[in-house]
Amino acid sequence: MPVALDLRCVDKAYGDRIILQDFSVTVDKGEHLLLLGPSGSGKTTLLNLIIGLLKPNRGTIMIAGEDVADTSHGGHDAIRRRHVAVIFQTLRLISAISIRDNLRLTQRLALGQADDKAIDHMLDALGIGHRASAQPRSLSQGEAQRAAIARALITRPTLIVADEPTSALDDGNAMRVADLLLHHAAVQGSSLIIATHDRRLQDFIPRSITLAQTATPST
């Protein structure tokens, strides 16, 4: 089984506040992983390390066999482009352009060109095909969540990381969103890491790791 993500002996601290120490995890291609832990335990920090927004103090981070922690900036961008998609807690849809244009822009950045047919197909599959031309700010919370999921899926990435995708939703919506995300990730074979303190998701994803509160200032 090819490996999508491989973290080895990663240390991460903000100043002298240690968040991760000697942390290792491997996610196979197509595998889904739930990243649990209370608020402040370092879930977002870990995701930011994976998507390259943060540098580890120590250790290696490999995505699809390429070292993200150790590449030059240009190489870094290229790996993100090709392999990783992110669903942010605050969604981060670009509000000045339509949902379809948000997806087009993502496709162009990742694949070099937009594919309107694939976009319409994806939006239909997520039940927001009729909102394709709408601006993000006119969407409901549930619709916006689906749009963000569509944007993550549209480039068929090796790895999708999602930060608290269901925390803001009620039970019914949370289940539907989780179901959609897991289903479509599985269909296209993308690995999936969901960081959440929402234990409802454990019913969907068998494999989980839990980060402990590591608020132990080193002295």
Partner 1 sequence: MMLRLPLAYMADRKLMTGLNILLLALAVATLVMLLVVSSQLSQRLSRNAQGIDLVVGAKGAPLQLILSAIYQMDQPTGNIPLSSIALLRRNPMVAQVIPMALGDNFRGYRIVGTEPAYIDLYGARIDRGRMFGEHGEVVLGAEAASRLGAGLGQKFLGSHGLSAGDGSSDHDSHPFETVGILQRTGTVIDRLVLTSIETVWEVHGIGHEETAAADHADEAAPDHEDEDHDTHATADADREVTALLVRYRSPAAAVRIPPMINRQTSMQAAVPAVELSRLLGLLGAGIEGARLFAWLLALIGGLSIFVTLLNAASAREADLALLRVMGASRAEVFGVVLAEGLLTALLGAAVGVAIGHIGLAVATELFVSFKELGLQPWEPVPGEIGIVLAVIAVGLSASLLPALRVFRMDLAHTLGRTH
Ligand X SMILES: Nc1ncnc2c1ncn2[C@@H]1O[C@H](COP(=O)(O)OP(=O)(O)O)[C@@H](O)[C@H]1O
Q: Which stretch binds partner 1 (CB under 8 A): 34-42, 88-96, 116-124, 170-178?
A: 88-96
Q: Which of 35, 30, 22 is nearest to 5 (CA)?
A: 30
User: Among residues 41, 44, 102, 107, which is the contact residue for Mg ion, using CB under 5 A?
Assistant: 44
Q: Which stretch binds Mg ion (CB under 5 A): 4-12, 41-49, 57-65, 99-107?
A: 41-49
Q: Which stretch binds ligand X (CB under 6 A): 11-19, 25-33, 62-70, 102-110?
A: 11-19
Of 24 and 39, which CB lies nearer to ligand X in the complex structure?
A: 39
User: Among residues 46, 103, 110, 185, which is the contact residue for partner 1, using CB under 8 A?
Assistant: 110
Q: Which of 64, 40, 34, 70 is nearest to 52 (CA)?
A: 70
**34's torsion region: left (phi>0), alpha (psi -120 to 50) or beta?**
beta
By CB under 6 A, residue 39 contacts ligand X: yes
Residue listed under structure tokens 């999936």:
192
Least gap, CB of 217 to ligand X (angstroms)? 11
Q: Is 95 helix (H, G, I), strand (E, B) or coil?
A: coil
19 is in the binding site of which of Mg ion, ligand X, partner 1, none (Cβ under 5 to 8 A by kind)? ligand X
Neighbour-count burial for 170-182, b at 16+ CB within 10 Å, e otherwise: eeebbbbbbebbb
> Which strand ranges, in their side-by-side order, compose the sheet holding 3-14?
17-28, 3-14, 58-63, 66-67
Tokens of 51: 């998507």
Of 109 and 215, which CB lies nearer to partner 1 in the complex structure?
A: 109
Question: What is the contact surface with partner 1 in residues (CB under 8 A)?
Answer: 44, 48, 51-54, 73-74, 77-78, 80-82, 85-86, 88-90, 92, 94-97, 101, 105-106, 108-110
